[in-house]
Amino acid sequence: MIELRRLSKHFADTTAVDAIDLSIARGELCVLVGTSGCGKSTTLRMINRLIEYSEGTLMVDGRPIDQLDAVQLRRRMGYAIQSTGLFPHWTVAQNIGLVPRLLKWPKSKIAQRVDELLNLLNMPAREFADKYPQQLSGGQAQRVGVARALAGDPDILLMDEPFAALDPITRSNLQDELLRILHQMGKTIVFVTHDIDEALKLADRIVIMDQGRIVQQGSAHELLSQPANEFVSQLLGKADRGLKQASLRQVQERMQPNIQGYQSEQPSISAKASLKQALSAMLWHQQDYLWVLDHQQQPQGLIELADIIPTKPQHRRPRS
């Protein structure tokens, strides 16, 4: 869907992006991660031609983008940024309806689309459609920013640290909502962040960049189990790596389907919770097992510490 081949961007005397190769498949959520100045935002902005690249090729749907009209190209790609960039003189509904208006949709279809998106993002249209951006909280404004990016029903969504300015709880909620929406819609997404936890949570594929180059790319598991170099393992948070990996797996993958002796007053955990949460609960209750419950609070099985750390005999601590 999006193909970058030996793509470079030189500014006056610096190279922001240095001959990177990257191909992003249809429906993939690809997250570019790195420290500030690593070229991740520049890369993103070259895809919708807010920045023109210096060398290489960049193809969207098999067509080099320099042969496409920049304005038309951007209308086919949603774009959401950290500071939202909502138009302060337009209502929420007008802001969201921007791209459909540019695409000359009929009025009734635009109104319907705006309502649909607001409801999708848990912002009742009746309450929010006529508000102005300055009347919204940070999280609400960011939702509107995402809704605006989705409004024209683009195949591709470009997101530049959209949640970076939010508090951790709002951020986490919006990440969950983004994942829910994307699973419904099947968009191709390029997402830029400096937050490795956000990348681990959202990404189908993580692309780690440093000094304008791609250092490593792969799934969260691949990166955590085999970091390519010191920079990557540092970025992944060396000491927390085990916990980060545990946060990627759900309890239901490791539980035993055994509910003998279940007592509802004993510590339990949701089947959808991560192994990290299970470990935390075990530490909290000072107990090496938890009952696993489904979303209706019915017992499904049991998870023991040994299920989370299934050590092979040679890795056990030798006892005399």
Which helix H or strand E contains 64, and what residues bound it? strand 63-64
287-292: long-range contacts (C-beta < 8 A, 24 or more apart)? 291/259, 291/262, 291/266, 291/267, 292/251, 292/252, 292/255, 292/268
Q: How far apart are the first and last CA of the chain?
A: 59
What φ, ψ does residue 86 adopt, rounded to 5°? -65, 145
Is 83 one of the binding residues for other proteins (CB under 8 A)? Answer: yes
Nearer to other proteins, 101 or 126 (CB): 101
Nearer to other proteins, 152 or 301 (CB): 152
- Nearest distance, CB of residue 22 and other proteins, angstroms: 20
* Contact predicate 283/297, CB 8 Å: no
* Contact predicate 113/106, CB 8 Å: no
Q: Which of 158, 192, 209, 303 binds other proteins (CB under 8 A)?
A: 158
Q: How many CB atoms lie within 10 A of CB 176?
A: 12
Is 11 one of the binding residues for other proteins (CB under 8 A)? Answer: no
Q: Contacts with other proteins in 115-134 (CB under 8 A)?
A: 132, 134
Is 12 one of the binding residues for other proteins (CB under 8 A)? Answer: no
Q: What does the per-residue mask of binding to other proteins show for 216-245, with x meaning CB under 8 A?
A: ------------------------------
Q: Which runs of E-coded beta strand occur in 141-187? A: 156-160
Q: What does the per-residue mask of binding to other proteins show for 30-49, with x meaning CB under 8 A?
A: ------------------x-
Is 135 one of the binding residues for other proteins (CB under 8 A)? Answer: no
CA diameter of the chain: 80
Output the CA torsion sign for 70, 75, 76, 81.
positive
- Nearest distance, CB of residue 17 and other proteins, angstroms: 18
| Count of residues that interact with other proteins, criterion CB under 8 A | 25
Is 137 one of the binding residues for other proteins (CB under 8 A)? Answer: no
Nearer to other proteins, 17 or 98 (CB): 98
Calpha distance 187→46 (Å, rounded): 19
Q: Which of 40, 46, 65, 79 binds other proteins (CB under 8 A)?
A: 79
Region from 97-105, 187-195, 214-222, 250-258 binding other proteins, contact rule CB under 8 A: 97-105
**Which residues contact other proteins by CB under 8 A?**
48, 50, 71-76, 79, 81, 83-89, 98-99, 102, 132, 134, 145, 148, 158
